[in-house]
């Protein structure tokens, strides 16, 4: 086998391994971060980071007392997407009747803290 052919085989195999690994790593990372390991501050930071990303706000704007709608400018679709992101990140399910009560940063932190899977 010529060196160029051999390099093409190696490149193909490495590309395939990378693609498979990439898919597996996403699942593994979700499982790792889906468990609550650590302090209340860690949970609080993760919740705030999700809110910041979902609502396109600077992390400094995401204060515990902030209302998603009144202070952070979220609409109803934003709040649904935010709840879904929290569910994915922490491996929890937030029923609709409970999701309606999650209206502030602190209420999101409290819900995750009290309901996250160990």
Per-residue pLDDT of 65-94, as tens digits, reads 999 999 999 999 999 999 999 999 988 999
3-state secondary structure of 67: strand
Which whole number is the average pLDDT over 54-65?
Answer: 96
Architecture of domain 37-115: Orthogonal Bundle (1.10)
Does residue 112 carry a pLDDT above 60? yes
Render pLDDT for 28-38 as a digit per residue (tens, 0 to 9). Answer: 665 555 444 54
How far, in whole angstroms, is CA 28 from its chain's centroid? 13
The pair phi, psi for residue 109, each rounded to 5°, is -60, -45
Domain boundaries, the chain: 1-33, 37-115
Contact, 102 vs 83, CB < 8 A? yes
- Of the pLDDT bands very low, low, confident and very high (cuts 50, 70, 90), residue 58 is very high
Which whole number is the average pLDDT over 6-33?
Answer: 66
Give catalytic residues, as residue numbers. 75
């Amino acid at each position: 086998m010529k060196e160029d052919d051999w390099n093409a085989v190696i490149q193909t195999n490495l590309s395939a391994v990378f693609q498979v690994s990439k898919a597996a790593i996403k699942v593994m990372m979700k499982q790792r971060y889906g468990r609550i390991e650590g302090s209340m501050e860690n949970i609080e930071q993760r919740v705030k980071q999700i809110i910041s990303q979902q609502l396109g706000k600077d992390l400094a704007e995401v204060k515990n007392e902030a209302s998603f709608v009144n202070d952070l400018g979220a609409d109803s679709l934003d709040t649904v997407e935010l709840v879904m992101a929290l569910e994915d990140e922490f491996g929890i399910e937030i029923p609709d009747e409970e999701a309606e009560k999650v209206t502030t940063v602190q209420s999101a932190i409290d819900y995750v803290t009290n309901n996250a899977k160990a």
